[in-house]
Amino acid sequence: MNNVETLCCVPRILEMGSGWFASLGSRRSTGTKLLSISGDCTRRGVYEVPLGVRLREVLEMCGAEEPIAVQVGGPSGQMVGTADFDREICFDELATGGALVVFGAGRNPLDIASKYMAFFVHESCGYCTPCRVGNVLLKERLDRILAGRGEPADLDYLQALARRSRPPAAAGSGRPLPTRCSRRSGTSAGPTRRW
């Protein structure tokens, strides 16, 4: 356990006791979490929060005005929309290594997904098919939709391709963003209605 987050907790645990630290957080996820928050918010920075805090509370803390989505856990994490803002940040519900990127009302989630996919396509080592081919196909389809040539079946195509690509991937770049866009949150369906 030699990481900054763990080392930051040690002095307070020694001072206050392990029982005190275990009393923080939720029943299933005790302790605190460091969140590095960036994006469309007025108070970007690193926040220490108790595990079990609702995403909506974190958005209020960081001054997110009219957020439409949050990328949780970095580019290969998951994008959640407003319907998921009451989920808890904890190991069992909305897990994250600590990165949160807030996207405001002026953003298009599909444009965000396309930019993340460009990163994955560029960074692929080429070793496995999900990265070498799957991410390229996902990026091409997202760009087609963004160019106004999308069809309603494209969302099903994206989800199916992302699901097929995910299990055999050798690295994180083979675990593409569209798999992690929550359909129930509306982050993937909303903007495509403009076709």
Give yes or no for residue 177 having a pLDDT over 80: no
Contact between residue 80 and residue 111 where contact means Cβ atoms under 8 Å apart: no
Question: Across residues 133-144, what is the average pLDDT?
Answer: 92
DSSP secondary structure string for all residues of 72-113: ESSTTSEEEEGGGTTSB-SSSSS--SSEEEEEETT--HHHHH
- Under the banding of pLDDT at 50, 70 and 90, the label for residue 181 is very low
- Under the banding of pLDDT at 50, 70 and 90, the label for residue 184 is very low
The CA-atom distances, in angstroms, between 139 and each of 41, 65, 83, 130, 178 are 27, 29, 25, 12, 10
Instruction: Give the closest residue to 30 by CA, choosing from 60, 52, 2, 8.
Output: 52
Contact between residue 41 and residue 63 where contact means Cβ atoms under 8 Å apart: yes
pLDDT at residue 169 in the model: 55
- Dihedral angle over CA of 133, 137, 138, 144, nearest 10: 160
Dihedral sign, Cα of residue 109, residue 111, residue 112, residue 113: positive
Least confident window among 6-10, 117-121, 184-188 = 184-188
Digit-coded pLDDT (tens) for 59-95: 999 999 999 999 999 888 899 999 999 999 999 899 9
Q: Is 22 helix (H, G, I), strand (E, B) or coil?
A: helix
Contact between residue 79 and residue 108 where contact means Cβ atoms under 8 Å apart: no
- Under the banding of pLDDT at 50, 70 and 90, the label for residue 180 is very low
The pTM score is: 0.81
Question: Across residues 144-151, what is the average pLDDT?
Answer: 95
